[in-house]
Structure formats: structure tokens, C-alpha cells
A and B are shown apart, each in its own frame.
Chain A
Amino acid sequence: MAVSHCLSWAATAFTAVLLFSFGSVAASHIEDQAEQFFRSGHTNNWAVLVCTSRFWFNYRHVANTLSVYRSVKRLGIPDSHIVLMLADDMACNPRNPKPATVFSHKNMELNVYGDDVEVDYRSYEVTVENFLRVLTGRIPPSTPRSKRLLSDDRSNILIYMTGHGGNGFLKFQDSEEITNIELADAFEQMWQKRRYNELLFIIDTCQGASMYERFYSPNIMALASSQVGEDSLSHQPDPAIGVHLMDRYTFYVLEFLEEINPASQTNMNDLFQVCPKSLCVSTPGHRTDLFQRDPKNVLITDFFGSVRKVEITTETINLQQDSEIMETSYKEDQMGEELMEPLKYAEQLPVAQIIHQKPKLKDWHPPGGFILGLWALIIMVFFKTYGIKHMKFIF
């Protein structure tokens, strides 16, 4: 009788221990999940997709942008959160043998123009001024809502640019250029106005890496299709349409993105591996030093998709740890604010490095040899011409 009592007591104790441990494990599991929940810090996603070229022979730039648009929409970002800037003269160009289509694959496999493209800035509205106004939010009050980037400090923004570029600049529609310094300053304005949480900048042009060299605002990750001094090449011409359909880098990015669905856990390190030199001929580059999280913890869908974070649980979660996290992040912000003077621009151009200024001399030194020699020569010529005997007329 005592043995069975002991046994039952041991059993209950054992189950209690099990339950307790299980509970603790479960509790820590729930806390991990809660940890995951606040991992990235963003609550909404925006995308700004810009194609800076016009004319029929730049068909591939429009196809690039529309492919990214298509992927981004498929992964959940709605049109109201996408600002699409295109020259939009491809689909209805008289030279297009398949009107109202823009293909990205040879043999016309994939029509990226589709039925539901919403172009926000079309044709001659794609200018440097409009692009910068969209980014910084300095937009005239009459601008319709679809043309605004209404992001806040919890928005993750994807910015994709393609066109013709050079070392330090990107050409907009054959008439103007945007430099990498202007772009860096625009991003800094966005940071100071708290218009983004994290920014992913992708550029597919020749010498694309030069465009992200000058960034200095935090939380920016950048990818480019080629290094400085390299050209980004186009992928394949289509003999029926008669032009090149896509650029290589974006073609392979599109192939990569086609395998992403809203639930996938692929991270940024995989995106960095897309299009190695053997496929792309140019060397893609990336920059992550301004980004605070580790790229392997950053999901593709953090930027390319709009994933609602909904976790269904019947457990109760103690949020005090979270308030600790929030406190530490608040403290960091405060420290950051103390460090920053509110009305001063950061040092953008290292002027002293560019212009070698001589240090000012504190004490006076007699003039150097050259000046002395010149004056001596002048005085000698003066005396020779007029003769010393004439000096008496002066004095």
C-alpha cells in the first residue's frame, strides 16, 4: 500500500516535474516566438521602383522594373504601397510586334506588363526632382495619394533602380543625372524625418556599385549589379521583338524571387549569391556595414513582401522582457539623439581631403626668392631705362 502510494506520488511528482519543465520549455519557446515576433521591427512595407530610361532600345530596363514589380506584388505589397516610375513607352510603342505586352523571357513566356500594372509616374514625369521629392516627402499638396511615399518609422522600403549609369551617377531619361551624393543626402533626409525603418537599395546599371559608395545613414543595405569600371550586360535578345529583353542581374534575381513565397525563410545571404560572375559577367556587389542586423537574419520577405505578423497562440506571454528590449532600444535612441546635434548636417563631403588647403602661417616671413627676384629685375630695368642720373629729377 505504501509502495503504491509512493509510486503514485512519484508518478505525479514526475509528471509535475515533466509538466513544469515542459511548461518552462514551452514558456521559453513562447518567449522565443515572441522574440521572433519583434525581430525585425517593421510593420509595413513600401517599394519604390524606378526605370530611368526611355526609347525602344531600352526595352530591357522597363522589363527589369516590371519584373521586380510583379514579384513584389505577388509577395504581398499592394499597389497603394508601390511607387512605380516608368517611361512606359514600350507596351504601346509602334515598334512592338505584340502590343500591350512587355516580355521578360525569350519566346514570350512571361508577360510582365499584365492586366493590372499601375504606373504612378510615367513618361516625362520620371525626373530627378520627382524622384527626390517622392523619397523625401516634399511633395506639393495637390499630388494624388498614389504618387506619394507615405512611409513612417516602422516601414521597410525597397528601392530598385535601373537604367544607364556611370561612375557616381545615374542617367534619367537622356536629359539629367542623379549623383550618388544626392542620393545619399536624400536617404539621410529620410532618416532624419524618420521615414524608414530599414532600406534595401538595389541598382542594376553599369558601374552600379558607385551609387552606394556614399551612403552614410544607418539601416541601409545596398546591392548592385556591377562594380566600378564594369558594365552590366543584357541577357538575351528576342528575334521576334528585336531587342534585348532583360539585363542579366535582374533576370537571375527574378528567377530567384520566383521561388520565394510569403512564408519562405530565405535570407539576404542567398540574395547576395544570386548571379555570380560566371553567369553575370560583371561582379555584383553589396554593402551591409550600415545595416544593424546580420544579413543572415534578414528575410527576403522583410523587403520584397508584405508579411503580416500574425501568430495564433493560446499561451500567455509575459511582455516584461519585451519592455526591457523596448527600454534598451529607447535608450539607444536617446543616446543617439544626445550624440547628434539636431540642426547640423553630417559631414558629407570630406572637403579637407578633396581640397588640399595649406595651413595658414601665423607669423610673417619675408617674401620668397621668386618675388624678390622679380622685383629686383623690375627695378634694374627701370634704372637702366631711365638712367640713374635722371633720379635727381624725381627727388
Chain B
Amino acid sequence: MGLLSDPVRRRALARLVLRLNAPLWALPVAWLERTMRSVGLEVYAQRFSRRLPFPDETHERYMVSGTNVYGILRAPRAASTESLVLTVPCGSDSTNSQAVGLLLALAAHFRGQIYWAKDIIFLVTEHDLLGTEAWLEAYHDVNVTGMQSSPLQGRAGAIQAAVALELSSDMVTSLDVAVEGLNGQLPNLDLLNLFQTFCQKGGLLCTLQGKLQPQDWTSLDGPLQGLQMLLLMVLRQASGRPHGSHGLFLRYRVEALTLRGINSFRQYKYDLVAVGKALEGMFRKLNHLLERLHQSFFFYLLPALSRFVSIGLYMPAAGFLLLVLGLKALELWMQLHEAGVGLEEPRGSPGPSVPLPPAQGVGLASLVAPLLISQAMGLALYVLPVLGQHVAAQHFPVAEAEAVVLTLLAIYAAGLALPHNTHRVVSTQAPDRGWMALKLVALIYLALQLGCIALTNFSLGFLLAATMVPAAALAKPHGSRTLYAALLVLTSPAATLLGSLFLWRELQEAPLSLAEGWQLFLAALAQGVLEHHTYGALLFPLLSLGLYPCWLLFWNVLFWK
């Protein structure tokens, strides 16, 4: 898979690195401290270290240690109760050095102004998002992800807003903005409107999702492009990844954006002065704030930079999908009740002691077992891959990351074989009503889960509902089993992930071949598990502990004997 997949190569590289006793790329901490101090900021450094659960193939790191450097520009006449952050995440793959240069130039310019009412923190982090997470945790004095970071010596009050900057070259043709954050959180729409205003004022070309803004809304082109951008945003929000440093700030209710300067093949280029002017305007406007940004929406979808869909418009869609599940459950309840009453009638003589209707008794025993087994499979899916990676790497010629991914897939596929085994364990007396009760419980379970997910991360909830609800509602042991089985497999969480990867690349006009798609899928699985452990992303536990057991229940219903 990567550099580290061959164990021989791995050992050779480890020996080389040990001999050099130097990291492959490091932040020039001393130079940064010196420069920031010469500009006139209060400079502090913070060390952090972390051992990832398994080696990260995409960023090629395993034991991470680094230093964050930050300088605080104190407000000359205010009380240092609030602050703004300009952050530049640096990592070995994207050095982001131009952004550091712009940061220092802005710091020097801001230092000469007297109208700052909030402190401004200029933050340069190492190992991009890992460093940002370490800094944020130390700043807010929490420990959410198991990062070991040294405590911060300089602090500047509550952070009101943050802007993350990523520039790869000194001339940009366009500025791309990213709003989706960790677990699908979004900043207040006012911050995006602020950026859009300064784009228009400065005549900068600003893009969303990497695409130009649709101009013609009267014909069909504009709305179609808008739909494409909307779908891209739904997919990005559903993945729950922090698409940039800003995503980690959102957890602490700090409104944040990431601005990426893109240098593509266009004729008209802007230099860093134009970008700097836009940033200066944004910071000046944020400086005028008296309260946290709260007037505009926190939940929205963007078909274009200047248009949005508010939660009141899109939430009913998810509500209707979940209503289908509810209605199906109601139908099953009625059928169960009728069947139970039908069985009682011949026995319903005026006898003093009526035994418990057999429906409930059978239902309970035959319900608990599949539930427990599915949850156990889910738990295994959550815990075993990371726990058993070393054992797997010893017995098979795979790297740890590959071992994790392959264990995941193995446990997932093993769940497909469950129904054939559970029936040996549990004997059912009334097969017909048993599967209805199980499906009833599974439908309610799915509806509850999807409802809760849709409230916090609408895109994920809607995506899962759109795929799983039809298959779940239709699953029954009678009729054409192969068709329903195929439908259920195609709408399982893993298949949804695979499909959405293909859709995402298709929408970005960089379509994937099957082999590439499969590789990307494996990488996405590894990243999902890794991000859960390093940032606390919730996609992996939700899918493995919540939706996968639910899906297994439907699979059990389908293969009911």
C-alpha cells in the first residue's frame, strides 16, 4: 500500500531514521520565535506528542511529536478578554510556507494599528491538524483525544472567531473556502457572508467546493450547478471529517473557516496583497463584534456562496423518510396484534386463568438473542481491528494499517453469515410472528438512530436514511430473497460509503476507475478509524456500534427460517 507495507523496507527505514536521529521535516521553531518577537508579538511555544493507534499511510507518521508556535498581539486599550485566531497549519506534505509569510506580514501590519479591541493570536502548528488539536485542547484545558501536550503559558481570553489559511504558492488565481467541520458542524453563516462580502469588495475570485459560482440562475444551468455543489457539501458534511484546521475549532463553538489559495491555469492572478487585504478586512469586521456570532444560521446547506438552504426547508425531508419507518412499524404492530388476537380467540373461553399469550413469550426470547448478537458484532467491529492489528501483522505479511482495514472488512463480511448460525442457537416456536417482532424492533431502532444522527449531522442522517430506509422497509423473509438480499447489501453502510466516494469524485469531475475507487475506499476506512482516535470523529463508532448492528437485524429478518 505505501512505503511501510513491506516489513523489510520498514525495518530498513526505521534503522535509517534512528541513525539520522532527525525527523524528516520539522518546523523552524527558533526562527519563527525570533521573527514573531521582532514583529512585536508575545511568543510562546508548545510541545505535544502522540502515538497514533496505527501508522498513518497517507501522512506517513506513527509516533508524532512536534511544537506549535504562537504569538499574541495584545489589544492596546482593551482588557484581553476576547481574542481572534489566524492559524496556519504546517505539515510535511504541504509546507504551507507562503501562508506563514503572509501570517507574519499581517502580524507586522496589525501590530501598527491601535483599533484592536480583541487580542489576535497568530498560530503556526506542526503536523497540521494534530498540532491544532493539541493547541486547542491545551487552550481550553480539556483532554478529549488522548493527546499529550504541554500546558500553554500564554493565553488571550475566549476565542470569538478563527481563520485558517492554506497557501501553496505566492500567486493565487482563486480562494476556496471550506466550512464543513468535524462531525458535520458548521460555522455561523455570518462568517461565510463576511468572506463573501470581502471577495466582492476586493474583486477576488472565490470558489466553494472548488467550483466557480453559477451565474445564470434563470435557465437550468445555474440550478444544476447549484445542485452539484449542494451534493458535494452533503457528502463532505456526512463524512464528518474536519476539512481543514477550522473543523477542530468548531467543537469549542469558535466560528472558523479555512481559506485555501489555489493556483491554477487561469490568466488573471492575484498576489498576496489582495489576499492580505481581504483578511485584514475580515479581522477588522470581527474586531467590531460585541457578542459572539449568533444572529445567522448554524445549520444550512450551500448551493452557492451567496445562497443557502436553511434547516427549516431541508429537515422535513428527513422527517418524511423516517415517517416511512414509523408507518411500517405501525403496520407490523397491527399485524402482530391481529395475529395474537387471532390465536387467542379459540382459547378465549371464560376460564379463570388465561395463560400469557404465546406471542409475547416467543417474541421476547427470539428477540433478545439476535439483538445481543448483532450488538456484539458491532462491538467486535469497533474494538477488534485496532486491538488485533499486531497479532494480524505478525501472522500475515501486511502492515498494521492494512491489518486494521482488512480486519474491519472481515468482521463486516462475517456478519453476513450470521443468520445461518443463530438459528442453531435459538429455536423458535412461532416463526411467522418472530420475524415481524424482530423487524418491528429493528425499524424502531433504525428510526431512533437515524433521527438522532439527522439532528446533529443532517447530511449523514439523510444519506443513510435515503439508502437504508427503502431496503429496511422492504426486507421480509418471503418473496424473492435474492433481490431483497442484493438490495440490503447494496444499501449497507459500507456500500453507502463506497458509493458516496464514487459520487464525490464524479461530482468533482475526476472520476475513479474501480481499482482506484477500491484503493480510495480502503484508505477512507483507515482514515475513518484513525480520525476517530485522534480527533474524536464520530462516523466510525456510529456506523460500527449503531448502524451496522441495526443492518444485521434486517439481514437476520431477511434470512428468517
Of the 9-residue stretches A6-14, A92-100, A118-126, which lies at the interface with chain B?
A: A92-100
Which A residues, 97 to 146, have Cβ-Cβ distances below 8 Å to chain B? 97, 99
Let me know if A94 and B290 touch, CB within 8 A: no
Contacts of A330 in B (CB 8 A): none
Q: Is A57 an interface residue (CB 8 A)?
A: yes
Q: Which of B269-318 contact A (CB under 8 A)?
A: 284-285, 287-288, 290
CB-nearest residue of chain B to A240: B115
**Cα–Cα, bound, A144→B114 (Å):** 36
**Chain A residue contacts of B290, Cβ below 8 A:** 55-57
- Is A242 close to B, CB under 8 A? yes
- Given the interface pairs A57-B288, A242-B288, the reply to whether A95 lies near B113 with Cβ below 8 Å is no
Query: What is the CA–CA distance of A311 and B559 in the complex, to the nearest angstrom?
Result: 113
Name the CB-closest residue of A to B291: A55
Residues in B whose Cβ lies below 8 Å from that of A243? 288
**Per-position 1/0 for B60-91, Cβ under 8 A of A:** 00000000000000011110000000000000
> Which chain A residues numbered 183 to 217 have a C-beta less than 8 Å away from chain B?
none
Chain B contact surface mostly: loop
Contact A94 B117 (CB under 8 A): yes
> Given that A55-B290, A242-B284 are contacting pairs, would A94 and B113 also be in contact in the complex, using a CB cutoff of 8 Å?
no
- Contact partner, B288, options A56, A92, A99, Cβ 8 Å: A56
In whole angstroms, how far apart are the Cα atoms of A347 and B363 in the complex? Answer: 78
Q: Distance in Å from the Cβ of A188 to the closest Cβ of chain B?
A: 38
Within the complex, what minimum Cβ distance (angstroms) separates B72 from chain A?
Answer: 16
Which A residues lie within 8 Å of B78 (CB)? Answer: 94
Taken together as a complex, chains A and B put the C-alpha atoms of A57 and B113 apart, in Å, by: 19
Please tell me if B122 contacts chain A, counting CB pairs below 8 Å: no
CB contacts (< 8 Å) of B288 on chain A: these are: 56-57, 95, 242-243
Is B382 positioned at the interface, with any CB of A under 8 Å from its CB? no
Whether the Cβ atoms of A99 and B284 lie closer than 8 Å is no
The A-contacting residues of B in range 73-129, CB under 8 angstroms, are: 75-78, 113-117
Residue of B with least CB distance to A55: B290
Please, which residues of chain A bring their CB within 8 A of the CB of B116? Answer: 94
Give Cα A96–Cα B76 distance, bound, in whole angstroms: 11
CA distance A96 to B114 in the complex (A): 8
Tell me whether A94 and B284 are in contact (CB under 8 A). Answer: no
Using CB atoms, name the residue of chain A closest to B116. Answer: A94
What bracket does the count of chain B residues touching chain A fall in? 10 to 19
> Residue of B at shortest CB range from A57?
B288
Interface string of A83-94 (1 = CB under 8 A from B): 000000000111
- A99–B287 Cα gap in the complex (Å)? 16
Chain B's nearest CB lies how many Å from the CB of A60? 14
A99: which of B75, B77, B117 is its contact (CB, 8 Å)? B77
Q: In the complex the two chains form, what is the Cα distance from A222 to B78 in whole Å?
A: 41
- B114: chain A residues within 8 A (beta carbon): 97, 99
Taken together as a complex, chains A and B put the C-alpha atoms of A242 and B113 apart, in Å, by 14
Closest to B287 in A: A95
Smallest Cβ-Cβ distance to B114: which chain A residue:
A97
Q: Of residues 38 to 75 in B, which have CB atoms within 8 Å of A's CB atoms? A: 75
Q: How far is the CA of A117 from the CA of B460 in the complex (A)?
A: 60
Residue in A closest to B77 when the chains form the complex, CB atoms? A94
In the assembly, what is the distance between CA of A92 and CA of B114, in Å?
Answer: 12
Of B75, B115, B284, the residue contacting A96 (CB under 8 A) is: B115
Contacts of A93 in B (CB 8 A): 117
- Given the complex, which residues of B lie within 8 Å of A92, measured CB to CB? 77
Q: Give residues of chain A (28-57) contacting chain B, Cβ–Cβ below 8 Å.
A: 55-57
Q: Which residues of B have CB within 8 Å of A99?
A: 77, 114
B155 to chain A, nearest CB (A): 19
B117: chain A residues within 8 A (beta carbon): 93-95
Min Cβ gap A87→B in Å is: 13
A55 to chain B, nearest CB (A): 6
A243 to chain B, nearest CB (A): 8
Residues of chain A contacted by B75 (CB below 8 angstroms): 94
Please name all residues of chain A whose beta carbon is closer than 8 Å to the beta carbon of B76 when the two chains form the complex.
94
Nearest-CB distance from B130 to chain A (Å)? 35
Task: With CB as the reference atom, state the residue of chain B lying closest to A96.
Answer: B115
CB distance from A119 to the nearest CB of B (A): 19
Residues from 213 to 250 in A contacting B, C-beta threshold 8 Å: 242-243
Q: How far is the CB of B543 from chain A (nearest CB, A)?
A: 46
| Bound complex: CA A188 to CA B483 (Å) | 87
Residue in chain A with minimal CB distance to B113:
A97
Most buried by B among A57, A94, A99: A94
Roughly how many angstroms separate A95 CA and B118 CA in the complex, as a whole number? 9
A242 to B114, CA, bound (A): 13
With A and B bound together, what is the CA distance between A242 and B77 in angstroms? 18
Residues of B within 8 A of A242 (CB): 115, 284-285, 288
List 18 contacting pairs A-B, 8 Å CB cutoff, sorted by A.
A55-B290, A92-B77, A93-B117, A94-B76, A94-B77, A94-B115, A94-B117, A95-B117, A95-B287, A95-B288, A96-B115, A97-B114, A97-B115, A99-B77, A99-B114, A242-B115, A242-B288, A243-B288
Given contacts A99-B77, A242-B284, 12 further A-B contacts (CB under 8 A): A57-B290, A93-B117, A94-B75, A94-B78, A94-B117, A95-B287, A96-B115, A97-B113, A97-B114, A99-B114, A242-B285, A243-B288
Residues of B at the A interface (CB closer than 8 Å) are 75-78, 113-117, 284-285, 287-288, 290
Residues of A whose CB lies within 8 Å of any CB of B are 55-57, 92-97, 99, 242-243
**Closest CB pairs A-B (n = 7):** A94-B117, A94-B78, A94-B77, A97-B115, A95-B117, A95-B115, A55-B290
